[in-house]
Chain A
Amino acid sequence: MDTFQFMLAGFAVVVFVVGGYAISLWLRFRTLNRRLHMLEIAREQARSDDFHRET
């Protein structure tokens, strides 16, 4: 390997680690947002059920 290839390997490490971390953050965000959204729907549903039961 010449020094140019080692440079590319170094840059690849930077791009993959930074990119990998960014993707992991995005995935965690998406998962939590979806879970919150589902809980929100369940809560609205429970409210609506309570309302119908009372009336």
Chain B
Amino acid sequence: MDISRESRKDRNNTDGLILLAAAAGLSFLIALLVVLFYAPREQVMGDVQRIFYFHVAAGWVGGLAYGIAAVCGARYLWKPHESFDDAGHAAVEIGFVFTLINVLTGSIWARPIWNTWWTWDPRLVTATVMAVMYAGYLLLRRSISNVESQRRIAAGYALLSFLSVPMTFLSIRLFRTIHPVVFGTVMQGDAMTGLSNRMLVSLAVSLLSFSFLFVVFLLYRIRLSQLSRQVEDAQWERFEAEKA
């Protein structure tokens, strides 16, 4: 491998990623403006309800990321290749960041509405368990030194952990909960939890923006794993040369 040619290629690849990152940043800014100035003020909850758009979008990206990690894990177990491991690892790391946003914004939203930062509600518990399980994935990887075992065990763990995603999604539909069900016409008491058109547009913009942000983060994180391997190879090459 010619390191100088490889690193020049890296820099060119990174230039493309910088453009994507700028576009993702811009889309995030647009989503922020739409949520602040276009989305209507909810009549009962007031301004704090605007957290909803980012809370849902972050939850969606978390679920999507863990889904990708599970697919990559299954693919790796079937036919091991480092690119599936890179993608799975990247997806879990980013998914964890977005799940954290989902849980924290939910807690901030709950304080003025439910009068508490936290309650042992099925949705809150399952979402937090999901976040902890994926934090476990990241810790597990660090604790295994053998690369092959690390990749294989992480793939199996990602596949199993994915069970927590449908569990979290269905928790508000299966169990008695105070968490609202937004999608689908579900009756809660006398009020129907529907969204106005402007709310739906704002939610769609947030979902698109967060999904785009996720894709850009994923590409960057995968590239980072590849770069890290290149550095390791070069270090090893240098060590071998010095030994000789």
Contacts and interface: CB of A to CB of B under 8 A. Distances in A.
Interface of A: 1-4, 6-7, 9-11, 13-15, 17-18, 21-22, 25, 28-29, 32-33, 35-37, 39-40, 42-44, 46
B161 interface: no
- Output the residue of A14, A17, A36, A40 with the most chain B CB within 10 A: A14
A11 B49 CA distance: 11
A24 to B, nearest CB: 9
B16 interface: no
A32 B47 contact: no
B109 interface: yes
B4 A17 contact: no
B149 interface: no
Contacts of A28: 224
16 contacts: A3-B45, A3-B47, A6-B51, A10-B48, A10-B108, A15-B32, A18-B101, A21-B97, A29-B14, A32-B231, A33-B227, A36-B10, A36-B227, A39-B234, A40-B4, A40-B234
Contact of B48 (A7, A18, A22, A42): A7
B55 to A, nearest CB: 8
B131 interface: no
A37 B11 CA distance: 11
Contacts of A1: 112
Interface residues of B, number: 44
A6 B97 contact: no
Given A6-B51, A32-B231, A37-B7, 15 more contacts: A7-B51, A10-B50, A10-B109, A13-B105, A17-B97, A18-B28, A21-B94, A21-B217, A22-B21, A25-B220, A29-B227, A36-B7, A36-B234, A40-B234, A43-B237
What 6 A-B pairs are tightest by C-beta distance, nearest first?
A: A3-B46, A10-B51, A3-B48, A39-B234, A7-B47, A4-B47
B231 to A, nearest CB: 5
B77 interface: no
Contacts of B105: 10, 13-14
B238 A43 contact: yes
A9 B109 CA distance: 9
B224 A13 contact: no
A39 to B, nearest CB: 4
Given A7-B48, A11-B54, A44 B4 contact: yes
